[in-house]
Structure 1
Amino acid sequence: MNKVNVVWFRQDLRLSDHKALYYALKDAEQSGAEVMGLFHIHPSLNDSFTVRHDYFFRTLEDLVNQAAEQQFPIHFISGEVEEAFQHLLDQDFTVQSVFYNKDEVGFGRERDQSVTKWLEAQDIPVESFVDAHIHGAEGVHKKDGGYYKVFTPYYRMWSSLDKPAVYSIDKKKLSELGTDFTDQFQKGEKAFRDLLSNCTKEWNHIGERSAIQRLAHFLHNKVHHYEENRDFPAKNATSMISPYLKNGVLSPRTVYHKAMEVIEENGGESKGLETYISEIAWRDFYNMIHYIYPNSKHEEVSEQYQGIDWNQDEDYFEKWKEGETGYPIVDAAMKQLNTIGWMHNRLRMVVASFLTKDYLVDWRKGERYFEERLIDYDASSNIGGWQWAASTGTDAVPYFRVFNPTRQSERFDPEGEFIKSYLPQLKDVPKKYIHEPSKMSAEEQEQYNCKIGEDYPEPSVDHKTMRKRAIEVFEKQKDS
């Protein structure tokens, strides 16, 4: 019987710089085994089908097509873990080892531990690797062995550590060692096709080739102005690679080393490149925090803020979700999220602050809505960002520093370009009123084709009043 090294793909949908694939091929060369690509369709992860699932399965489809070009087909198993992996072991080949890039947090961590334990009980060796981050959750620590809870000292240590090299995949060897047992996995193939049939959106720039092109365009055309432009959503100044990183279409090692190449080409660091690299470190930092605080999706990291009396008003939450708060920058940001499944990072902070401070709605509700809607939803970064904005997390914004949505709008969308791109009812409103259209007189509303209360809502809350109330709520909780 054929000996086979199985590479279990998950959120690492690429054939380049793929650590598990690299080591599976290396082992196969030495042992005379073949290499097989595998994807497990887990029912618990597909109970619902949101825009995030749509994007993920279209990305997976791109990997399937790329792999087929290399004579390295992806095989599918489906169902509960033991049932699905038993089907793998029941075929007419011998599974020599299973290789995968591990999840260090959340559901993925629990699944990995469960599958590994089960496979090893069947005498199947398992090799797992840190691949989704430059440095894993245990990779950066203080000299005394403790963990950092503040980003700045974490980043200093992160920057001082040697970075892992890119794992170069020999595509010729991949084709030579790849094996095809797809006839034996028809049930899994059908499950995959059924999921694809639920996909309704047309996505541009899907997959690994698009990711490499987009990264190159950013690094050679935008990165040097990244520091000064990145907070302005109308400028299209960010790399837009977060969906690729989330789904593993791009390796963070590749991103890091490509950025370092640009630094060398330009004879030294620029502020833009330095800031961009720090964003890669933020991903690692929040992954570590989630690892240390495994319950952080459900409870505040800061114990003193556990049990805050959040506002339970569903009407406020609905206004926020639909982009009908009466604050243009908040509403335009939520329309962006609901339209394209992505939101500019500055705006993520603005809308999170608005929900938790201006509406005093529980941050968990916002975090879960982002989980539904974001195609780049990364649990660790998202939880970290929400707890930062809610002032309940590690290294969070102090509770008494509350974002003023109007000031944020004036500062980061001064001409109202972004606002107008998602709120067409405000397209004729001049700069003077674009950040606070409710200040227009009745005559001006007529003149600029925007009647407040009809075409665009009145502000649903008064920011000054709610800022004061939010501070009172946090101070009461702090003193209790």
Structure 2
Amino acid sequence: MKGKVTSPKKTSEGTMPKKNSIHWFRKGLRLHDNPALLEALKDSSSYRCVYILDPWFAGSSQVGINKWRFLLESLEDLDSSLRKLNSRLFVIRGQPADVFSRIFKEWNITQLTFEEDPEPYGKERDAAICALAAEIGVQVVTKPSHTLYDLRHILEANNNQPPLTYRRFQSILSGLLPPPVPLETVTATMLKHTHTPVADDHDDKYGVPSLEELGFDTDNLGPATFRGGESEALARIYRHLERKAWVASFERPKMSPQSLFPSQTGLSPYLRFGCLSPRLFYWKLTELYKKVKKGQEPPLALHGQLLWREFFYTAATNNPNFDKMSGNSICVQIPWDHNPEALAKWAEGQTGFPWIDAIMVQLKKEGWIHHLARHAVACFLTRGDLWISWEEGMKVFDELLLDADWSVNAGMWMWLSCSAFFQQFFHCYCPVNFGKRADPTGDFVRHYLPALKGFPTQYIYEPWTAPEAVQKAARCIIGKDYPLPMVDHTHVSRVNMERMRQVYKHLLVSSSVSGYKRKLDPPKIPKVDMFLLKANMFTSTSSDDDHEQTSGMRLENKI
């Protein structure tokens, strides 16, 4: 397994010092399949597991309370697992450089290990810590384990460029060996010859803080939809794998009204925080498929959820501007509108479209929404209805969505807004009809928008069409107790489709006439012409129902 190792300094006598190790947890909050942690235990006289509560987690945006709760629960679970091994987790508040400058010397540390961070900000932070360690004479060992593959291998197979189409990405993977098998879980046997120095005041100095200690008001906080931690992740993966009938028939999971609600087999937040190894998930699913299919090799599509994640990580790993339009070489520069009032209505679930609003309320309340619900609200905010930049939607998801990480979140928003990866912009989700098809009874809307619970099913997705008598009977007057639709979807979707057509037309002309070429994947450039032709036909012949998106890529967040 590829990684990085720096050499420690020898003592003045020329001998190697006694090894005292720190394993630095960031993501990768688990004891299973953790190669960097195993390196910390190897031949060490002592080891300490450290987590630094640092602004890196929040990044440039506020992090919602559900996300913080999940993190703290994950740390508590990790500490509990370490206790069973006569060890503890050391939670330290501060900036990594300040913390390590102090504890390297205070604890006489000779080795630091951590999981490689595949994202640009993390790589920059880690380079600074490696430089600090080198100055002090601390050896650094890093190992990749947050992704299925060492992303360098994928890039090397594509002339050191990220593949910007999923088809090209799949083609590259087909020429590589399968992902490494997961490594064994840390056990007491591995710790026979090492120990963790733990003082009596450990909980006071290094315990996991509560939400209240971090300044959160928890009075109105509901029960956790997803409990954080490796223990819960492993319980969920085995429930997930019990769905043998699905694996045997290998049918894509169909959307149903019940699937709009969180399930006890959902895994995406656990992958995001590293409570679950993606390689463990990959190989467990592969083993089950082979068992059911009597040794038959599984198709790539079996691992679609994990591979989409890997695709966006690969696209982002060397692009520090992946989360913004400016300076982002793969992002089409679309002239979005600046409309803070409309953005706020969307974010607060006050658009007047019950399907959209129920999704946004669920997101804020629970920190999770179905992958097709993500498509619906992303399309509505950007190219479908409001024509607001994907960057704004990405920030809201980053704050509220438990499984939103930098690479996948930004990649999904660029894709769904037709800003990258060449989505078919002439397809558009209808905020009324899509909801009707997803949940014909409207129970999802009634659950998250109780103001509308009295409306008959025929009006639940467009309550503004209900007669006044029906509204009074439902005790909800539209425009007073629940907002009127903020836009005329039929009109604005057509206007926005034409705006997008002009953007793509300009892109095609710029690249073919003036010789200007963006750094976009060349095989997709010809498709712009095809999309424009289809868009011209579509806008001249379609009805509003045709705008419903029915094809194209799917980012599977069902896991």
Q: Is 2:233 aligned against 1:206?
A: no
**Counterpart for residue 216 of structure 1:** 238
Q: Is 2:393 aligned against 1:366?
A: yes
Instruction: Give the secondary-structure state (helix, strand or coil) at the position aligned to 2:209.
Output: helix
Deviations 1:297-322 (A, max 9, x none): 1226566732x332222221111111
**Counterpart for residue 324 of structure 1:** 350
Cα deviation for residue 212 of structure 1 reads 1.1
Residues 345, 391 of structure 1: CA spacing in aligned structure 2 closer, same or farther, 3 A cutoff? same
Residues 379-394 of structure 1 mapped to structure 2, 5 A cutoff: 379-393=406-420
Give the conservation status (yes or no) of the 8 Å contact 2:77–2:231. no
The one-letter amino acid paired with 1:110 is E
Residues 63-82 of structure 1 mapped to structure 2, 5 A cutoff: 63-82=78-97
Q: Decide which of 44, 52, 56 is 1:40's aligned counterpart.
A: 52
Q: Is 2:121 aligned against 1:107?
A: yes
Q: Decide which of 140, 160, 165 is 2:181's aligned counterpart.
A: 165
After superposing the two structures, state which structure 1 stretch, 187-196 or 50-59, moved more: 187-196
**Equivalents in 2 of 1:278, 1:381: separation in Å?**
14
**Equivalents in 1 of 2:295, 2:343: separation in Å?**
43
**Counterpart for residue 404 of structure 1:** 430
**Equivalents in 1 of 2:193, 2:404: separation in Å?**
34
**Equivalents in 1 of 2:212, 2:144: separation in Å?**
29
**Equivalents in 1 of 2:295, 2:440: separation in Å?**
30
Cα deviation for residue 231 of structure 1 reads 3.2
Cα deviation for residue 469 of structure 1 reads 2.2
**Equivalents in 1 of 2:123, 2:431: separation in Å?**
37
Q: Is 2:313 aligned against 1:297?
A: no
- Give TM-score scaled by structure 2 length: 0.77
Cα deviation for residue 188 of structure 1 reads 9.1
Cα deviation for residue 154 of structure 1 reads 1.1
Give the conservation status (yes or no) of the 8 Å contact 1:323–1:332. yes
Instruction: Give the secondary-structure state (helix, strand or coil) at the position aligned to 2:106.
Output: coil
Q: Is 2:250 aligned against 1:241?
A: no
Give the conservation status (yes or no) of the 8 Å contact 1:226–1:273. no
Residues 304, 265 of structure 1: CA spacing in aligned structure 2 closer, same or farther, 3 A cutoff? closer
Instruction: Give the secondary-structure state (helix, strand or coil) at the position aligned to 2:342.
Output: helix
Residues 129-144 of structure 1 mapped to structure 2, 5 A cutoff: 129-141=143-155, 142=157, 144=159
**Equivalents in 2 of 1:197, 1:267: separation in Å?**
52
The one-letter amino acid paired with 2:139 is P
The one-letter amino acid paired with 1:435 is Y
The one-letter amino acid paired with 1:13 is L
Residues 55, 296 of structure 1: CA spacing in aligned structure 2 closer, same or farther, 3 A cutoff? same
**Equivalents in 2 of 1:184, 1:118: separation in Å?**
30
The one-letter amino acid paired with 1:84 is V
- Give TM-score scaled by structure 1 length: 0.89
Aligned length: 473
Residues 321, 183 of structure 1: CA spacing in aligned structure 2 closer, same or farther, 3 A cutoff? same
Residues 467, 138 of structure 1: CA spacing in aligned structure 2 closer, same or farther, 3 A cutoff? same
The one-letter amino acid paired with 2:404 is Y
Residues 320-469 of structure 1 mapped to structure 2, 5 A cutoff: 320-357=346-383, 358-393=385-420, 395-469=421-495
**Counterpart for residue 530 of structure 2:** none
**Equivalents in 2 of 1:438, 1:302: separation in Å?**
43
Residues 438, 159 of structure 1: CA spacing in aligned structure 2 closer, same or farther, 3 A cutoff? farther
Give the conservation status (yes or no) of the 8 Å contact 1:102–1:131. yes
**Counterpart for residue 135 of structure 2:** 121
Give the conservation status (yes or no) of the 8 Å contact 2:121–2:320. no
Instruction: Give the secondary-structure state (helix, strand or coil) at the position aligned to 1:138.
Output: helix
**Equivalents in 2 of 1:230, 1:448: separation in Å?**
32
**Counterpart for residue 24 of structure 1:** 40
Instruction: Give the secondary-structure state (helix, strand or coil) at the position aligned to 1:90.
Output: helix
The one-letter amino acid paired with 1:113 is A
**Equivalents in 2 of 1:335, 1:13: separation in Å?**
29
The one-letter amino acid paired with 1:55 is F
**Equivalents in 2 of 1:233, 1:131: separation in Å?**
35
The one-letter amino acid paired with 1:148 is P
**Equivalents in 1 of 2:372, 2:22: separation in Å?**
41
Deviations 1:28-57 (A, max 9, x none): 2xxx53332122222454695532223212
5+ residue gaps, structure 1, are none
**Counterpart for residue 554 of structure 2:** none
Cα deviation for residue 455 of structure 1 reads 3.0
Cα deviation for residue 162 of structure 1 reads 1.8
**Counterpart for residue 536 of structure 2:** none
**Counterpart for residue 543 of structure 2:** none
**Equivalents in 2 of 1:162, 1:77: separation in Å?**
37
Give the conservation status (yes or no) of the 8 Å contact 2:289–2:298. no
**Equivalents in 2 of 1:77, 1:137: separation in Å?**
30
Q: Decide which of 85, 94, 102 is 2:100's aligned counterpart.
A: 85
Instruction: Give the secondary-structure state (helix, strand or coil) at the position aligned to 1:411.
Output: helix
Residues 222-233 of structure 1 mapped to structure 2, 5 A cutoff: 223-224=246-247, 227-232=251-256
- Aligned-pair identity (%): 26
Residues 257, 351 of structure 1: CA spacing in aligned structure 2 closer, same or farther, 3 A cutoff? same
Q: CA RMSD in A?
A: 3.0
**Counterpart for residue 471 of structure 1:** 497
5+ residue gaps, structure 2, are 1-16, 508-559
**Equivalents in 2 of 1:157, 1:34: separation in Å?**
42
Which one has the bigger helix percentage? 1
Instruction: Give the secondary-structure state (helix, strand or coil) at the position aligned to 1:140.
Output: helix
Cα deviation for residue 177 of structure 1 reads 4.4
The structure with the larger Rg is 2
The one-letter amino acid paired with 2:256 is F
Cα deviation for residue 184 of structure 1 reads 10
